[in-house]
Chain A
Amino acid sequence: MKSIILQTATRYLLPMLLLFSFFLLFRGHNSPGGGFVGGLVASAAYALYSIAFGVEEAKKLLRIEPVYLIATGLMLALFSGMIAFFSFDTFMTAKWSDLNFPLFGKLGTPLLFDLGVYIVVIGITLKILFTISEEVKP
């Protein structure tokens, strides 16, 4: 089921969807968005790619085994909670830097946590997607 139209469109859509997912992730703190939706959009991008080019190509594009993404995301989320230990605060106390960055706004541990959620969601969705599509292969 290879379609030139879909493939060409996907080539342009993939980077845009990924950019959009980052946008959602970073704006989440002040406007609708966030790590969960961002992660879903990013996985939708890869899902689209795997429909257009096949799962093998999508895996090649991702380069990294989704299970590692799950692990990385969980560790990141956990670590963001542990940063508070360094100032002898309780687990998950939010820490903010006072600097204001363009695009990101203020940087703080909740943003890191959200990034962890984002990565975990991509890992989970793609792991399920890849596993199922491999299984149904003739």
Chain B
Amino acid sequence: MLLFSVLSGIIVACLVPFLFKFGRKPASIIISMVPLSLFLYYLFNFGITDNLGYSESIEFFPALGVNLNFVMDSYALIFALIITGIGTAVFFYSSYYLAEHPYLDRFYIYISIFMASMLGIVTSDNMVIMFIFWELTSISSFLLIGFKHREEKSRYSAWQALLVTGSGALALLAGILLLYVITGKMNFSEINAMPGIIQSSTLFLPAMFLVLGGAFTKSAQMPFHFWLPNAMEAPTPVSAYLHSATMVKAGIYLMARINPAFQGAIEWETTLTIFGGITMLFAAYMALKQTDLKRILAYTTLSVLGTLTLLIGIGTPLAMQAMLVYLIAHALYKGTLFLVAGAIDHGTGTRNIDEIGGLRKFMPITAVAATLAAFSMAGVLPLFGFIGKELLYEAALQPNLFGYTTFAIVFLAALFGVVAAGMSAIFPFFGQAKYPNSKPHEASFTMYSGYVITAFLGLLFGLLPMIVSDNVAKAVSDIYYNLPVAVSSSMYLALWHGFNLVLFLSLATLALGIVILMFRKKLFAIIRKINLPEYLLPSKGYDMSISILIASARLTTKVLQNGYLRNYITLILITLLILTSYSLFTFSDLSVISLYHPVTIYEIIIAAIITISTILVVKSSGRLQAVAALGVVGIFVAVVFSIYGAPDLAMTQYSIETLTVILFVLVIYKLPKFMHYSKFSHRMQDFFLASAVGLTMTILILMVTANEMPTEFKEYYGKTSYLLGKGRNIVNVILVDYRALDTLGEIVVLSLAALGVFALLKLKKDDRGFE
């Protein structure tokens, strides 16, 4: 059931085109029911009942240790509920927000696949399976960011996101394999139980940094952060879902999930704290420079991702608890704010914060939701964000590697958070009414119901933290190696902790933030003027490596694929010649070749026919003769096959030869006669190359036949073909049963070749500027 619930998004994605036959509106409502029912399933089956730790396992590639192991523990449940819960709001919201969009059906396909892959990441116990889902989120994110694919900027951003997270994913795969090398295990649950072995291994640091490479790119930590603000080119519901609530948290998820294996290692904690801290501070500062509502939200999301990384780096149980609470609170308020930003865009036609103000008169319901979310973001009592901020301060004040520096950074970032909350969610709705075009309008019910619910959940969790308290405590023990039971049972969330230092600090943050907001005009004018030198920005590095990549691709294409088929063949043959003759003459003993083989009369005849037709191919003055002679060569090679007992091969060769000749004839039928022949010197070159290749192949075959053939394969297939494969034709049983996966790959390649022929011939020069 768990596996089915994970994959249901993919199944739905396959059904979307058919559902849209019933009309756009009903289809989008039906599709939106999927995340809702998944949410309810997870909530009632795992959230309310004590069914956690439930696991399912199906063998997939047992030989490689890659199996479909799915586990639903408290930690995974938090993510699963966020994914499906925010998902429900986003799915419904999109049905109205993108109602007019011609590609609404595609949108639902991409986003359903995304949801399924995200659920796959958080429930997979097997690291390779998790990796597959990880890649799927990158791909679906690419499609969603580039959804408005006619715009240059969208395409650029989509590529950037894909390349950055994709190359990170390669690092992650290498990291997973190293962990497998160290431990011999493929499951998180097994790896997490052996931190001692992992951390004492010499491969520990490479493995850790490779895994972090994946997590940091996905969660947009400095210096890989630049793709996230650019990803705001995506439609707003996508930004709300992928780039604030779920996908960017996959990196955070992974770091915490694998924390038990790395926990306690000084390198792990240092790296996370430093990178998290820098990201947090830098992004918070960058947020203040923006005027686009979505970009402000993107940078504050970055800042929060930094905070979460930092908390994992601090690594105490309290920090883990703070991380989880902060994560839930963020998903709720940031999801809300992004959807609100979309509603503002929809209602006023702009997202520039300088152009809007006092919208509460026109959008009262949205204003309430935005205010609640902003309060949660700023950490105002009694919202859930307040509890998060208190825990964050408490965790940062605990003894850690960097002492009070950590706290100072956290405090500054939180302060910027208050300012950003004011900028993005309070000022657009309060103060002087201001809007660029026509009168703004309120969002529709399908749009606002989702974000009103998430906004109020932030309030509800704040007032009644016991709803989530228990599960958070359990989740901490999922991601903390050997958490003492006493600690786990003493962990509970409360709104009111009494008058203490942390409360005072929270209030001080708020007060300072409000002061800054009062003087914001002057301050922003200064901040917007300060620009980092361009060459310092990591995105420049990205642009540079892309242009180097393209330039080198151009160069190799120019050298290797210059459009002349004869040069390709020459190149291939020379490579073959060099590699084969090198290993043939250095590693093998040529004396085993015997030149005395009994030859029969028909072998001589066949050889003579093949030779004569080959000479004819070369000498003929017309294309048709050449093709016919080439066909004769092919047919007689097939005769050789049938004489030496390979009837399947021979049959295939006959049919292929026939079809090739037909194709050739079709093409050359219309071509003019040979205009001129190649030069004598060229022909001599070709002759020597052909002779050399022929000679090498002859020696190779003589070598192969001179040695005794290993018979074990033949015996194995002979014995088992009928018993296991239920067929007596071993060749065919190998093709469709033993090695069916290879055959599947081959027919896919063949299909692509056919499509390639079609595309090459149909793509005219005047269409796209290609030849």
Contacts and interface: CB of A to CB of B under 8 A. Distances in A.
**Closest 4 CB pairs between A and B?**
A40-B655, A29-B727, A32-B647, A124-B754
A38 to B, nearest CB: 9
Contact of A28 (B724, B732, B750, B758): B732
Interface residues of B, number: 46
A136 B666 contact: yes
B663 interface: yes
Interface centre among B727, B729, B736, B753 (most CB of A within 10 A): B736
Interface of A: 24, 28-37, 40-41, 43-44, 47, 51, 66-67, 70, 73-74, 77-78, 81, 88-92, 94, 96, 106, 108, 110-111, 113-114, 116-117, 120-121, 123-125, 127-129, 131-133, 135-138
5 contacts: A32-B731, A37-B655, A91-B60, A135-B761, A136-B667
B740 A113 contact: yes
A37 B652 contact: yes
B751 A123 contact: yes
B663 A44 contact: no
Interface stretch (B232-240, B345-353, B570-578, B741-749): B741-749
B758 A131 contact: yes
A88 B67 CA distance: 12
A106 to B, nearest CB: 6
B584 interface: no
A89 to B, nearest CB: 8
Contacts of B59: 88-90
A88 B60 CA distance: 9
Given A124-B751, A128-B663, A96 B726 contact: yes
B659 A43 contact: yes
Contacts of B652: 36-37, 40
SS of B interface (majority) = helix
A7 B658 CA distance: 19
B735 interface: yes
B667 A129 contact: no
A32 B666 CA distance: 30
Contacts, number: 148
Contacts of B753: 124
A34 B744 contact: no
Contacts of A137: 670
Given A32-B648, A113-B740, A117-B743, A70 B751 contact: yes
Interface of B: 58-62, 647-648, 651-652, 655-656, 658-659, 662-663, 666-667, 669-670, 724-729, 731-733, 735-737, 740-741, 743-744, 747-748, 750-751, 753-755, 757-758, 761-762
A116 to B, nearest CB: 8
A33 B741 contact: no
B202 to A, nearest CB: 35
Contacts of B728: 29-31
B192 to A, nearest CB: 26
Given A67-B755, A131-B761, 4 more contacts: A40-B659, A90-B61, A124-B753, A132-B666
A16 to B, nearest CB: 15
A110 B733 CA distance: 8
Contacts of B61: 90
Contact of A35 (B60, B659, B736): B736
A120 B755 CA distance: 12
B762 A44 contact: no
A81 B748 CA distance: 14
A44 B761 contact: no
A9 B25 CA distance: 56
B667 A110 contact: no
Given A113-B740, A124-B753, A131-B757, A33 B732 contact: yes
Contact of A34 (B658, B659, B736): B736
Given A44-B658, A124-B753, A74 B747 contact: yes
B651 A117 contact: no
B66 to A, nearest CB: 10
